[in-house]
Structure 1
Amino acid sequence: MGRRGYLPKFRRKVLDLLKAGRATTELAHDLDISTQTIYTWRRQDRIDRGLEPGLTSGEKAEPAVARRRIAELETELQATRRAIELIRQAAPPEDDVKPSR
């Protein structure tokens, strides 16, 4: 299983080495990463610079951020619903409440 989550600084250095003329297979071997990873980074870099069509890194990140926020809101809603349920169980129904004199 490969390593996930390379730092942007590391990715940038790999791309700089590619631009400087190093071979993809050589870099992959020396840095112990797959050639496919390097190809993917290179393609995404070209998209980000507007040289190829596709979703930019920022555009790809937006749905992930939205999904995380939706999950947070669903968790909050579930907690609120549970709190309301507990309050209803603890409080007597309004019909049983007698007005105070």
Structure 2
Amino acid sequence: MLQTLKEASVPRSHPAEFRHKVLAPVEAGRPVRRIAHDLGASEQTIYVWRRQHLADTGQLPGPAGEDQAEPVAARRRIAELEAEPAVHRRAAELMGEVVPPGRERRPRPTSPPASETRVECPYRRGVEQLGSSLGS
């Protein structure tokens, strides 16, 4: 299967256990170039994994992978929030094309007469009789 240039340049995510299996021969002294060739990965990728592994284990100064998760999530959220006004502007533009300018008011539905909306109460007759007898 042939890959297009775009597909070949897109980085792929590999599980942590795969990275550890790749790094074991590197730590044993096997050349990175040979491991990269055998796996079809770039040498640079393996060097990045090695550098991150050394930082995670404290053998090299730098942020551990766990320490980078929160800032990455924060940057992603900031990018989403920055893109939001553009989305709203575009939606407003599209709505302006669909909805004619100016506010057209719809007529309000007329309410039914009060006699039709009246709910019959079983005690109403007694209250009316009581009220008429008190008033006289």
Shift of 1:73: 4.7
Count of equivalent residues: 87
**Which whole-Å deviations, capped at 9, do the CAs of 1:9-40 have from their partners, x for residues lacking one?**
22121112222332211101111111121111
State the percentage of identical aligned residues. Answer: 47
Structure-1 residue corresponding to 2:63: 55
SS in 2 for 1:37: helix
| 1:23 matched to 2:31 | yes
| Residues 72 and 36 of structure 1: CA distance in aligned 2, closer, same or farther (over 3 Å) | closer
- In the TM superposition, 1:1-101 aligns within 5 A as 1-8=8-15, 9-73=17-81, 75=84
Distance in 2 (CA, whole Å) between partners of 1:60 and 1:25 is 28
Distance in 1 (CA, whole Å) between partners of 2:13 and 2:21 is 11
Gaps of 5+ in 2: 1-7, 92-101, 104-136
Pairwise CA RMSD: 3.1
Distance in 2 (CA, whole Å) between partners of 1:72 and 1:35 is 33
TM-score (normalised: structure 2): 0.49
Quick check: 17-26 or 1-10, which moved more?
1-10
Distance in 1 (CA, whole Å) between partners of 2:13 and 2:26 is 17
Distance in 2 (CA, whole Å) between partners of 1:72 and 1:2 is 24
Q: Which has the larger radius of gyration?
A: 2
